[in-house]
């Protein structure tokens, strides 16, 4: 590995330095004592907190302080931005020729395609690189090489309001037909959103993929190309349009205008019977006194065999030439304790196998175990394709139209397929 080669070269130089200059000079030159060779690493990170009290800035401040205490030659300068801004901030830095050493963001493929990133194996130690959850490690690959290092992950489950279900005399669904039957009973009982279907621009790509997977489809059913217009996908959206939206079972806001945050807030307010949710919804709903249950996403004939898995990514930029220092810091970041601390702080799933095994047996993590169980069965967005960011933007813009009264799932999916194929060809994929 390149990182090991650089360290070997450093050792050789160190031996020569000992002969010529003596031990004190070598220590200074290696950055183990203060001097001109001290290194400052710049990290740009996303904020997972929902208030100043749990801002990610506080998490990074604690972690960096612990690291710097044992690494006096290295300073880590962390800038934290909201998810609305962080990707654009990093892009602006890269475009200006001033890429950070590390960026914890939502996508990596464009930077990898432009040869701006270290491969994971060039910076991480072998045990840390091998510890990533396999599904997430594969999702971090571009053309078979891992550039994206998973940093946070989550899966989706169907949340349902136990109080509303008991009042309507129904139980949690396992199939689409049961979901529709439950939604009809909830609507009859006056529930505002029997099933909340957020296909608005905030995160339509997630809700859409969750449904397509439950119908045995997806965005990339083949290895080589997108598959938006597959028969399975068309059938899934046809069912949504006809059996849920068309029957008035998705609430007063058109799915194409309903965002995830609004749907989550409505669930916490007791106005939603069912919706797809990730782990953070548990805390939000519990804080409002909502009694809820969680089950795997219903499928056509039974519980879906595949769940949506979402990951955010750590990237290491080559511009500063600090591969060894980046690797040492990231080895610390991905230690079992630090991965668990982050996961607990923000109700997310660990991205390493070692931390996942600990969480899976810990009594205090019982509420996260159902999500953890879905991770080996999950499918991620095709983030390794450089076209994905633009394709995702088109999904957010168009997919809500497919389930309107005058919309055509086949036409919308066909248009998305044409757009995706064009973008894929332009990206040279």
The rounded distance, in Å, linking the Cα atoms of 397 and 354 is 39
- Whole-number mean pLDDT of the chain? 90
Q: State the Cα torsion 146-149-152-158 to the nearest 10°.
A: 0
Residue 13: in which H helix or E strand, if any?
Answer: helix 2-21
- Contact predicate 377/308, CB 8 Å: no
pLDDT digits (tens, 9 = 90+) for 356-378: 999 999 999 999 999 999 998 89
- Contact predicate 64/29, CB 8 Å: no
Q: What is the mean pLDDT of residues 160-164?
A: 98
Q: Other C-beta atoms within 10 Å of 251: how many?
A: 24
Cβ within 8 Å of residue 305, ≥6 positions away: 216, 299, 377
In this prediction the pTM is 0.84
pLDDT digits (tens, 9 = 90+) for 99-139: 999 999 998 999 999 999 999 999 999 999 999 999 999 99
Residue 330: in which H helix or E strand, if any?
Answer: helix 323-333
pLDDT digits (tens, 9 = 90+) for 299-319: 999 999 999 999 999 999 999
Q: Other C-beta atoms within 10 Å of 428: how many?
A: 8
Q: What local confidence, expressed as pLDDT, does residue 35 receive? A: 43
Tell me the pLDDT band of 3, cut-offs 50, 70 and 90. very low
In a 3-state reduction of DSSP, which class is residue 312? Answer: strand
Alpha helices in 46-199 (DSSP H): 56-70, 86-95, 109-113, 120-123, 126-130, 134-139, 162-168, 176-188
- Contact predicate 390/382, CB 8 Å: no
- Contact predicate 344/134, CB 8 Å: no
**How is residue 6 annotated by DSSP?**
H
The rounded distance, in Å, linking the Cα atoms of 177 and 196 is 16
Tokens coding 86: 């962080």
Query: Structural domains in the chain?
Result: 2-27+39-153+311-376 (3.40.190.10), 157-296+385-426 (3.40.190.10)
Q: What is the mean pLDDT of residues 8-17?
A: 37
Tokens coding 196: 């909340």
Inform me whether the pLDDT recorded for 156 exceeds 50. yes
Q: What share of the chain is helix, strand, coil (3-state, %, to 5)?
A: 50, 15, 30
- Contact predicate 297/214, CB 8 Å: yes
Q: What local confidence, expressed as pLDDT, does residue 377 receive? A: 83
């Amino acid at each position: 590995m390149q990182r090991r080669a650089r360290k070997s070269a450093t050792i050789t130089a160190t031996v020569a330095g000992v002969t010529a200059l003596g031990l004190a000079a070598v220590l200074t030159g290696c950055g183990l004592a203060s001097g001109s060779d001290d290194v400052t690493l710049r990290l740009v990170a996303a904020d997972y907190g929902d208030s100043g009290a749990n801002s990610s800035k506080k998490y990074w401040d604690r972690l960096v302080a612990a690291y710097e205490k044992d690494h006096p030659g290295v300073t880590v300068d962390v800038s934290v931005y909201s998810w609305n801004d962080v990707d654009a901030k990093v892009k602006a830095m890269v475009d200006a020729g001033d890429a950070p050493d590390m960026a914890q963001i939502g996508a990596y493929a464009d930077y990898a395609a432009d040869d701006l990133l270290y491969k994971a194996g060039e910076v991480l130690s072998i045990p840390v690189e091998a510890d990533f959850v396999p599904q997430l490690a594969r999702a971090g690959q571009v053309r078979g090489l891992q550039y994206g290092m998973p940093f946070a992950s989550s899966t989706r489950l169907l949340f349902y309001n136990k109080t509303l279900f008991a009042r309507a005399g129904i139980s949690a669904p396992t199939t689409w037909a049961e979901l529709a039957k439950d939604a009809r009973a909830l609507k009859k009982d006056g529930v505002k959103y029997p099933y909340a279907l957020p296909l608005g621009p905030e995160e339509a790509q997630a809700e859409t993929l969750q449904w397509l997977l439950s119908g045995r489809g997806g965005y990339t059913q083949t290895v080589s190309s997108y598959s938006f217009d597959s028969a399975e996908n068309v059938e899934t959206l046809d069912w949504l349009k006809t059996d849920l939206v068309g029957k008035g079972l998705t609430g007063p806001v058109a799915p194409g205008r309903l965002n995830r945050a609004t749907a989550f807030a409505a669930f916490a307010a007791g106005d939603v019977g069912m919706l797809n949710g990730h782990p953070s919804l548990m805390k939000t709903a519990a804080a409002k006194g909502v009694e809820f249950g969680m089950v795997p996403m219903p499928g056509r004939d039974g519980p879906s065999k595949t769940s949506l898995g979402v990951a955010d990514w750590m990237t290491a930029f080559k511009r500063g030439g600090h591969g060894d220092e980046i690797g040492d810091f990231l080895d610390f970041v991905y230690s079992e304790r630090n991965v668990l601390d982050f996961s607990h702080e923000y109700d997310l799933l660990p991205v390493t196998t070692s931390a996942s095994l600990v969480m899976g047996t810990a009594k205090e993590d019982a509420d996260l175990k159902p999500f953890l169980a879905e991770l080996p069965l999950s499918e991620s967005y095709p983030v390794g394709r450089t076209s994905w960011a633009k394709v995702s933007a088109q999904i957010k813009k168009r997919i809500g139209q497919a389930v309107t009264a005058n919309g055509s799932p086949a036409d919308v999916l066909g248009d998305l397929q044409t757009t995706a194929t064009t973008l894929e060809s332009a990206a040279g994929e």
